[in-house]
Amino acid sequence: MLGLARLGVDVFWVDCVRPMDPRKHAHGLEYLAKRFDRMAEDFAFKGRYCIVCEKRDRYFGMTKTELRRLARDTDLVVNLGGPLPESSVLMAARRRAYVDVDPGYTQLWAQEWDLSFDRHDLLFTVGQNVGGPGFAPPTDGREWIRILPPVVLEQWPARIDSECRRFSTVLDWRGSQQAKFNGRVYGGKREEFLRYLRLPTETGQHFELALCIGQHDHADLGRLHRNGWRAWNSYLVAGDPHSYREFIQHSRCEFGVAKSGYVETRSGWISDRTACYLASGKPAIVQSTGFEERLPTGEGLLTFRTPSEAAACVREVEADYLAHARAARRLAEEHFDSDKVLGSMLDAAGLR
């Protein structure tokens, strides 16, 4: 929203949510709407959003009538990875763009379910290889426009500080993504992450996680602890935009493991979280998903495929930390700047 507003776009946020189940969810819609309203005020878009629970015919922020009027006047809906039913009020907009934030998974899901691609005029993806020769899943002849995750640089100023110690990331241990392909099931990050358990002891560096993990995974927490990882409750240290930014900006470097589906499909996925680390002047060491052909790596942004390669990347960053930190910021400015990324999307939609 902030990036599009910088380009002179009149922007509104619409979020469609399911009813809250008190047996599964800690909070109800009223609490979540109030929390969202405080965030909207912090980032200067209060009064410019609507949270919709269609099954209960409830609207927070704008009224139902205001949302319908807005949809009729809208030039472009930017849909962040959700199906858009024919009945949606957003179908009244002049154009619609689907943004694939789960490349590999998205194309596999589309083999089983209707993800409403045909109800969109443009298809964007953060998968740098989607539709290319090395990409495994079928794309059914659809044209995917590749983009990088945008970051608003003024919201993420460089904070280069060699005194910061923690190699860190923010992650969901299991996640909700699952997909089947060629007889294999691709799930969350847990299975990939366990391959790198010994990294703190092998490198002698300080590793911390802002981790969303269930109580049934207490054995995994013990394994992380015994191998030198410090795990924080992600809701406590990164559960809102302010604490999320602080956690990243007080880190030394990102160490990121990708979900198996991103890796095995060679999707070229790269995280918006990594874009925030880079903008903050924090080097990023991330698992390869095949994006290296489209982004410069080796300084500021390093990739690995095995535990030994990951350890080598850590040692490489430590050998000249400040050079890697400055290179990280340059990468963000050259490739992830929201003015450039979102500007290219508006150009593709004919709206610049």
- What per-residue confidence (pLDDT) applies to 185? 87
- What per-residue confidence (pLDDT) applies to 26? 83
* pLDDT mean over 258-277: 95
204-219 pLDDT, tens digit per residue, is 999 999 999 988 999 9
User: Which residues on neighbouring strands pair with residue 254, listed in sequence order?
Assistant: 168, 284
- What per-residue confidence (pLDDT) applies to 313? 98
156-201 pLDDT, tens digit per residue, is 999 999 999 999 999 999 877 788 888 888 888 998 999 999 999 9
Element (H, E) at 319: helix 307-319
- What per-residue confidence (pLDDT) applies to 176? 76
Spatial separation of the C-alpha atoms in residues 169 and 178, rounded to whole Å: 21
Spatial separation of the C-alpha atoms in residues 191 and 173, rounded to whole Å: 9
Question: Cα-flanking dihedrals φ and ψ of residue 122, to 5°?
Answer: -135, 145
Above 80 in pLDDT, residue 237? yes
Spatial separation of the C-alpha atoms in residues 123 and 325, rounded to whole Å: 33
* pLDDT mean over 125-148: 95
The one-character DSSP state at 336 is: I
- What per-residue confidence (pLDDT) applies to 239? 93
Which residue, among 73, 67, 75, 70, has the nearest Cα to 7 in the 3D structure?
75
- pTM, 2 dp: 0.96
306-318 pLDDT, tens digit per residue, is 999 999 999 999 9
- What per-residue confidence (pLDDT) applies to 31? 92
Which residue, among 142, 170, 138, has the nearest Cα to 235 in the 3D structure?
170
Spatial separation of the C-alpha atoms in residues 13 and 286, rounded to whole Å: 31
Domain 153-336 falls under CATH 3.40.50.2000: yes
Percent share of the chain, pLDDT over 70? 100
Q: Yes or no: say if 288 and 303 are a contact pair by the CB < 8 Å rule.
A: yes
* pLDDT mean over 62-84: 95
Average pLDDT, the chain: 95
Domain with CATH 3.40.50.2000 in the chain: 153-336
DSSP reduced 3-state for 231: strand
Q: Are strands 49-53 and 58-61 parallel, antiparallel or unpaired?
A: antiparallel
